[in-house]
Structure 1
Amino acid sequence: MKEVYDFLKSCQTYYLATVEGDEPKVRPFGTVDIFEDKLYIQTGKVKEVSKQMQANPKIEICAFGGGEWIRIAATAIRDERIEAKQHMLDEYPGLKDRYKVDDDNTEVLYLKDAVATFYSFTTEPRVTKF
């Protein structure tokens, strides 16, 4: 999991895919955090992406950097605890002007049953699960 975290951090931007009905939806994200040995992402509950993940929590993340790319398939699980939200906001202080731990909008989700596959043009794919 730490290797996945490090890769996403180094890329700075990754792309999160959800579904709405039978239509795929993809958008750029940048938040990633490790809290209590789980990999977390962050968004706002008022956003469509949040509603999509609550309706169908199966997601996929993709990122590219340094000649490699990663695809992560997982289930996104909402964590309502203040501690989890605070940890994320402490890691991304720039978000504190838009999000607060108790604002009923800040949403942090951890990745459950994640399967991350690292790819490159020069090596065989490598899979890690967490």
Structure 2
Amino acid sequence: MKTLLDVCKFLKAAGTYYLATVDGDKPRVRPFGTAHIYNGKLYIQTGKKKAVSHQIAANPNVEICAMADGDWLRIEGELVEDDDRAARVSMLDAYPELKALYDADDGNTQVFYFKNATATLSSFTKPQETLNF
């Protein structure tokens, strides 16, 4: 886990990862599947109408957990909304299957990038690796 591209590749290999947010004083975890590098940052996507969007707006500190091939990756950090249309288009182009549900101009599609984040790759058999970004 040397680069942000390695982090993104791991998330894509896992297919599904789990995003944890806070709803008031209660944890909330749900499956996600988008991971995209845009302008040198790691992005995820959701819809503004979803509860997760409101939870991120109230507290942008989140954590992701994914597992693939016996290794697991945790990413903790702050999500920042990028309201640039080009960022939404880039995400939807990377995940064309989402175009059946989202459009860059629908007022619902929302993309976030990680800031002040730490990715930690762990395994039962290999040394732990950490990347700050």
Task: Normalising by structure 1, report the TM-score.
Answer: 0.98
- For residues 89 and 124 of structure 1, the distance between their equivalents in structure 2, rounded to whole angstroms, comes to 35
Please give the residue correspondences for 1:37-116 in structure 2 after superposition, counting only pairs within 5 Å.
37-116=40-119
Task: Letter of the 1:4 partner, please give it.
Answer: V
Alpha-carbon offset, residue 6 of structure 1: 0.6
- For residues 36 and 73 of structure 2, the distance between their equivalents in structure 1, rounded to whole angstroms, comes to 17
Please give the residue correspondences for 1:28-43 in structure 2 after superposition, counting only pairs within 5 Å.
28-43=31-46
Query: Aligned with 1:100: secondary structure?
Result: coil
Identity over aligned pairs, percent: 52
Q: Does 1:26 align with 2:29?
A: yes
Query: Aligned with 1:18: secondary structure?
Result: strand
- For residues 126 and 96 of structure 1, the distance between their equivalents in structure 2, rounded to whole angstroms, comes to 35
- For residues 52 and 24 of structure 1, the distance between their equivalents in structure 2, rounded to whole angstroms, comes to 10
Query: Aligned with 2:80: secondary structure?
Result: strand
Query: Aligned with 1:40: secondary structure?
Result: strand
Q: Does 1:10 align with 2:13?
A: yes
Q: CA RMSD in A?
A: 0.6
Task: Letter of the 1:119 partner, please give it.
Answer: S
Could you give the per-residue CA deviations for residues 100-126 of structure 1, whole angstroms, max 9, x where no partner exists? 111110000000011000000012211
- For residues 95 and 8 of structure 1, the distance between their equivalents in structure 2, rounded to whole angstroms, comes to 17
Task: Normalising by structure 2, report the TM-score.
Answer: 0.96
